[in-house]
Amino acid sequence: MVFICIWLFATFFATGMSLDNGLARTPPMGWLTWIRFACNTDCDYDPNFCISEKLIKEMADHMVQDGYKDAGYEYVCIDDCWLAKERDENHRLQPDPKRFPNGIKHLADYVHSKGLKLGIYEDFGTKTCAGYPGSEFYMQLDAQTFAEWGVDLLKFDTCHSDAHDNKEGYPAMSMYLNQTGRPILFSCEWPYGELQQNLSSDYGPVRKYCNVWRNYWDVLDDFQYVKNIVKFYGDNNALFQKYSGPGGFFDPDQVIVGGIGMSHYQQRAQLAMWAMFSAPLMMSNDLRDIQNEARELLLNKYIISVDQDPLGAMATRVWVINGLELWVKPIVPKGSLAIVFFNTKIFGSGTPISTAASDIGMSNPKGYRVTEVFTGKDLGIFKPETNLTARVFTTDAYMIVCHILS
């Protein structure tokens, strides 16, 4: 098969202005409660799994002890269900007093003492998704409160709001965060809210006011959700490529590596694709109880370096043939590539690949040093005419990095 190679030249880098708070120069990495711990608030019945100070501290401890921090994971993030049901008498947000007995400032100090950063959650609407007090009418006060507590990241959800208002509301919150003087990474659900209400999204302003932004349905611990997200990113590939780059990144949602519902192959396929998207790597798993192979995958230095590549590019979906997809991402040094074959098929013994290097993007006559990402195996020097052979199993990915020779 012969493939046309103009796509490599069609790769754009983020043209739009990005949020000027010095953060997210590469995609943020960390951990988030939601998919694994959801809105479990019953600490009497389920003390080790409820959303609480104890849970967050234990995750912070494991991030340091088990090598995640050294690998680049930095933000420990609380999603919905940390709040008390009411604001205090001065209209300030307050955490649930039983589950966060020492308050959020104390928790932020603890997380900072480990060399990590704390993320928190609120909602642009009148209530959070789970029904706790929302920020509508209180955004300035809430931004100040988060800054005073020492919060480093705000995930700002979009439930219980009219998405027509997102284009005013999110920039307003971005401005209030800026006015606190504390750099707070701003994670927006602005375009996702528009999608849910069938409105189109304008990513120029989104990139200008947010560091990362969700624009599709939640991932759940099931490969079908990963496939749907990859398809959405593929179908909108040319548009999204224009807005991904240092300072601002698309957020396809949490990383479920170390979860329960996906096979090891499916987990590595998710992580490979997220790295190709330059996506935030926010794990949602239980770091106290995780399979070794999942931990090794999360710490895989080749995947992390593709995700954290300084260009921050969104990969190109080059083709889709019989359920097999070829994705290529430019990385540094200039001319280098990361390549993923992503197989969405759910039966059969996988798809064998046999292709000239030039047909999958390695067309520079200088040649490339090629490394297999999951095994770390050095495949040697590839010239454009060198043949690559591999097998891509069902619901799996095959990933290589190709560093151009000088």
Ligand X SMILES: *[C@@H]1O[C@H](CO)[C@@H](O)[C@H](O)[C@H]1NC(C)=O
Interface with ligand X (CB under 6 A): 20-21, 178, 181-183, 197-198
For the bound state, the minimum distance from the C-beta of residue 162 to ligand X, rounded and expressed in Å, comes to 10
Distances from the Cα of 35 to the Cαs of 27, 218, 285, in angstroms? 20, 9, 8
For the bound state, the minimum distance from the C-beta of residue 268 to ligand X, rounded and expressed in Å, comes to 33
Nearer to ligand X, 95 or 191 (CB): 191
Question: Are 57 and 107 spatial neighbours (Cβ–Cβ below 8 Å)?
Answer: yes
Going by C-beta distance under 8 Å and a sequence separation of 6 or more, which residues neighbour residue 3? 318, 319, 359, 360
Nearer to ligand X, 197 or 375 (CB): 197
Cα–Cα distance between 288 and 159 in angstroms, integer?
Answer: 31
- Candidates 96, 123, 142, 157; catalytic one: 157
For the bound state, the minimum distance from the C-beta of residue 222 to ligand X, rounded and expressed in Å, comes to 22
282 in helix, strand or coil?
A: strand
**157 a catalytic residue:** yes
Q: Which helix (H) or strand (E) holds 303?
A: helix 301-307
Q: Which helix (H) or strand (E) holds 318?
A: strand 316-321
**218 a catalytic residue:** yes
Q: Which helix (H) or strand (E) holds 214?
A: strand 212-214
Nearer to ligand X, 181 or 352 (CB): 181
* Nearest residue relative to ligand X (C-beta): 21
Nearer to ligand X, 181 or 333 (CB): 181
Peptide bond into 333 cis (omega under 30): yes
- Long-range CB contacts (< 8 A, 24+ apart) of 265-268? 265/393, 265/394, 265/395, 265/396, 266/223, 266/226, 266/395, 266/396, 267/294, 267/297, 268/297, 268/374, 268/396, 268/397
Name the packing angle between helices 53-65 and 103-113 (round to 10°). 10
Nearer to ligand X, 197 or 387 (CB): 197
Cα–Cα distance between 221 and 44 in angstroms, integer?
Answer: 26
For the bound state, the minimum distance from the C-beta of residue 22 to ligand X, rounded and expressed in Å, comes to 6
- Candidates 46, 218, 235, 378; catalytic one: 218
For the bound state, the minimum distance from the C-beta of residue 183 to ligand X, rounded and expressed in Å, comes to 5
Distances from the Cα of 351 to the Cαs of 36, 265, 348, 387, 392, in angstroms? 32, 14, 8, 16, 5
For the bound state, the minimum distance from the C-beta of residue 21 to ligand X, rounded and expressed in Å, comes to 3
Nearer to ligand X, 182 or 264 (CB): 182
Residue of 92, 116, 109, 91 whose CA lies nearest to 30: 116
Nearer to ligand X, 127 or 182 (CB): 182
For the bound state, the minimum distance from the C-beta of residue 159 to ligand X, rounded and expressed in Å, comes to 13
Question: Are 37 and 51 spatial neighbours (Cβ–Cβ below 8 Å)?
Answer: yes
Q: Which residues are identified as catalytic?
A: 157, 218
